[in-house]
Structure 1
């Protein structure tokens, strides 16, 4: 149902979509991507978990969501001229919160975890209401079993609205607002039942990165990128590209798998990462390299490329004094880029030479393979550090400035050879305020996933940790392009090897 108070009203354009926002919108319009979800498991304060407190619980959640909306203007805006070359964010008069907050109660006999995972999977592939309705592209679904002391809150959004780091801020701020809302009155200016009337003054939107900072490009880097994009396919001799996995777009369906690492195991793995001068992101890139080298033949994939998604918030200037989000690193907006990594034929051949002859399930990493793993993981981390040090110089977002028609660009990309075999998008550690006495709201675990990105990596890994609560690792791939058995074997390897590393420390 449309946001009924916005239909027929004159929309005020606030600014054009930025480069990242326009790029993500083009993928959505072409059905190359659908949605992204960050789900958190909230512990409910005992006094609100009682059966007789259900109405109060719903009110506390609604008020906390409203307070979060008012802190982050990107949650307040809709889109105009979405299918044009220059779409714009527009000011809305009001939000119908019934379109953005849904409660799902399940019975005592139902499987809570199974319901969470099934809802998560379904929401990744859900489409959002028609963009012409002019409704913000985000929603939360709250899953609760009876009067249990926990609830799962799934935030699902359309990527042009904000990125994964912005979603992490949303949950952290929602947690803060829940603890604040519970202590005060439930009335909020502009809130009438489920209708939130937004301020008449235009919201102060975060500025796209290309309008905040210079994005310098060296001529050599620019020439290399343009050659790679424009050369005929018959001149493409790059054996590290994922030619083994042709880009297919239909039928659209996301395959999603997940496993969890408990906090004790995660701490042990982090200690090993520090000893070997790498991070979880570097380690996952290294583990993925060994897994793909194991399951793909050298004639099919003699070398590999991967990509790490990086957050540019560290490169932003300080937030303006009147910005409601206060700090640049607390912006709900779109500030990501990607860093490619290449694993050449010599390295991949060396790794394959150290794999066990018997490739049956259940194999562990040998000492030789672990040495290769830590060397690759450390190298991966060094590449990320170098990128952080160079900041916005020679960044893909700078190249994107030259794209005049994103929909055509993404159509063309879907006809090319796939570049990346895998991708790692790690939004880091979420602060769940778990060091409490159990009387306040807290978050004990989180799960992150995105729908299949048709022209992107064959398999995308999305880890997230909660301070004191362990780590979740998700994997996503397009069903029409990647064999399900391959995806499941890769994930089984990662889960088994992380457990092996945790047990060694």
Structure 2
């Protein structure tokens, strides 16, 4: 029996080939964005909805997912020839949603035990390679449900959305969850009749979706939709830096970057999570606004402060460098991009680099007085913010993404990095704020309270937490600091790293510091230490 040749759509673009080659080599496998759903009580007895006690999918969830897959072309494609530099997206004529969704009940005796299980699952998702991706879309959903009488865990489930980086980016992962929660089957009906009609329609939703015809179009590749321009001076300077003989170039400033790239190490992603309460987040945001910095810039400064103190040896860590991924969605060219795909899930990313000199690192290490440490933290944050602002003002001119077209063999590129030093010490990636579906447009607190009660009675789930992580970046930064939040709820930091590349003890210390910095600032109002 022979398998039919896949129907090829467009060729993968530069950044899509970047990720496709990494997946095939097993050195980066997926992005994972996980939303915690809080389900209101199913009755006046305040019990959780019955489906949360089983491994069954609610018809409303299945209908919501079906709605998104039907409307998002990148969830309906495969990838052919991913072992080559000529990989293409493929048309998938039929998708059985049951092949993409699984549910697991998690026995646990405490909220912390469940949180540990969530972090473990997040890491597990990163370690799995997608199989048969020419004929099956490379994404999956895993749902964890706590099997417990612990009050804090009542009515919740965590929805893990793991996906191949070629089909979308972290921001798209957040948008997927927003679409899921806002899908028609999840929206609160306004009347009992509408509620019955919606429930009946959801119950009739078939798990097998048929797409006899290819999508009318796919979102353009990044270089097709963004007007990258390159000056000769930037191009030559960058190519010289990458390809010029080392004996003709000045020595690079050594930085702490864990261990050299080792493609032979087992691929295992470790994950640790940190939550900032809404009160802590509000206080930090207010302080950032008053100093004209962003929370991402402040986090870079806090990570630097922690690592400079925790790795005190100037020989081991004379300096540091970091990266900030940037969304290219605001830079889609109206002349080059199809407005029909303005809100489509896709991969649109660039980045900004930051260097922290030996002088800056030494100043942090020497600082003992709290006022001096706090002053340094804000000064460094302002420096990072200025770099980000400068980068954003210049994009899409002279950006390295415009140079990816010069890499003709991605597999040779990655193998050529084996044994080399990493360019960065860490990466901070912020996918922004998830907004739950609006309840409606009524005004007044009294009416709002009434609407919320009606919504809860209708059983509409709300997101209360968003956990985002990159998998272990074998040929990239040794640690990822990944952040996301839910409007009005917690701000979550997901730390991720490759086992045996970064010591667990160092990541535990970083987590302790990021936790204590926020707690201390909440306590004092002006001091992190």
What secondary structure, in the 3-state scheme, does the structure 1 residue paired with 2:124 have?
Answer: helix
- Residues in 2 aligned to 1:482 and 1:137: alpha-carbon distance in whole angstroms: 29
Q: Which residue of 2 aligns with 1:90?
A: 90
Task: Give 1:164 shift.
Answer: 0.2
- Residues in 1 aligned to 2:376 and 2:33: alpha-carbon distance in whole angstroms: 33
- 1:266, 1:502 within 8 Å by CA — same for their partners in 2? no
Q: Which residue of 1 aligns with 2:389?
A: 385
Task: Give 1:283 shift.
Answer: 0.6
Task: Give 1:230 shift.
Answer: 1.6
Q: 2:280 aligns with which of 254, 265, 270?
A: 265
Q: Which residue of 2 aligns with 1:405?
A: 409
- Residues in 1 aligned to 2:268 and 2:103: alpha-carbon distance in whole angstroms: 25
Q: 2:349 aligns with which of 310, 332, 336?
A: 336
Q: Which residue of 1 aligns with 2:496?
A: 476
- 2:120, 2:270 within 8 Å by CA — same for their partners in 1? no
Task: Give 1:314 shift.
Answer: 0.6
2:513 equivalent to 1:497: no
Q: Which residue of 2 aligns with 1:138?
A: 139
Paired residues for 1:66-465 under 5 Å: 66-107=66-107, 111-132=113-134, 134-145=135-146, 148-177=154-183, 178-180=185-187, 183=195, 184=198, 187=201, 193-232=206-245, 237-242=251-256, 245-249=259-263, 250-296=265-311, 297-317=313-333, 320=338, 323=340, 328=342, 330-354=343-367, 356=368, 366-433=370-437, 436-437=452-453, 439=456, 440-465=460-485
C-alpha RMSD over aligned residues: 2.6
Q: Structure 1 residues 123 and 244 mapped into 2: Cα distance closer, same or farther (>3 Å)? A: closer
Task: Give 1:199 shift.
Answer: 4.6
- Residues in 2 aligned to 1:52 and 1:239: alpha-carbon distance in whole angstroms: 56
- Residues in 2 aligned to 1:131 and 1:401: alpha-carbon distance in whole angstroms: 24
What secondary structure, in the 3-state scheme, does the structure 2 residue paired with 1:428 have?
Answer: strand
Task: Give 1:492 shift.
Answer: 1.6
Q: Structure 1 residues 240 and 340 mapped into 2: Cα distance closer, same or farther (>3 Å)? A: farther
- Residues in 1 aligned to 2:27 and 2:55: alpha-carbon distance in whole angstroms: 40
After the TM superposition, which parts of structure 1 deviate over 6 Å for at least 4 consecutive aligned residues? 52-56
Q: Structure 1 residues 159 and 201 mapped into 2: Cα distance closer, same or farther (>3 Å)? A: closer
- More deviation, 431-440/262-271: 431-440
> Which consecutive unaligned segments of at least 5 residues does structure 1 have?
1-6, 357-364
- 1:105, 1:144 within 8 Å by CA — same for their partners in 2? yes
Deviations 1:85-137 (A, max 9, x none): 110001110101111111222347585333322222211212221334x2111
What secondary structure, in the 3-state scheme, does the structure 2 residue paired with 1:401 have?
Answer: helix
Deviations 1:19-47 (A, max 9, x none): 11110111111221122211111122434
- 2:425, 2:479 within 8 Å by CA — same for their partners in 1? yes
- Residues in 2 aligned to 1:55 and 1:251: alpha-carbon distance in whole angstroms: 32
> Which consecutive unaligned segments of at least 5 residues does structure 2 have?
149-153, 190-194, 440-451
Q: Which residue of 2 aligns with 1:51?
A: 50
Task: Give 1:180 shift.
Answer: 3.7
Deviations 1:390-414 (A, max 9, x none): 1211111101111111111111123
- Residues in 2 aligned to 1:291 and 1:56: alpha-carbon distance in whole angstroms: 44
What secondary structure, in the 3-state scheme, does the structure 1 residue paired with 2:86 have?
Answer: coil
- 2:23, 2:29 within 8 Å by CA — same for their partners in 1? yes
- More deviation, 176-185/425-434: 176-185
- 2:227, 2:332 within 8 Å by CA — same for their partners in 1? no
Q: Structure 1 residues 375 and 186 mapped into 2: Cα distance closer, same or farther (>3 Å)? A: farther
Task: Give 1:503 shift.
Answer: 2.3
Deviations 1:303-337 (A, max 9, x none): 2211001000010135635x2x5xx2x33100011
Task: Give 1:272 shift.
Answer: 0.8
Q: Structure 1 residues 378 and 8 mapped into 2: Cα distance closer, same or farther (>3 Å)? A: same
What secondary structure, in the 3-state scheme, does the structure 2 residue paired with 1:202 have?
Answer: coil
Task: Give 1:171 shift.
Answer: 0.2
- Residues in 2 aligned to 1:243 and 1:153: alpha-carbon distance in whole angstroms: 33
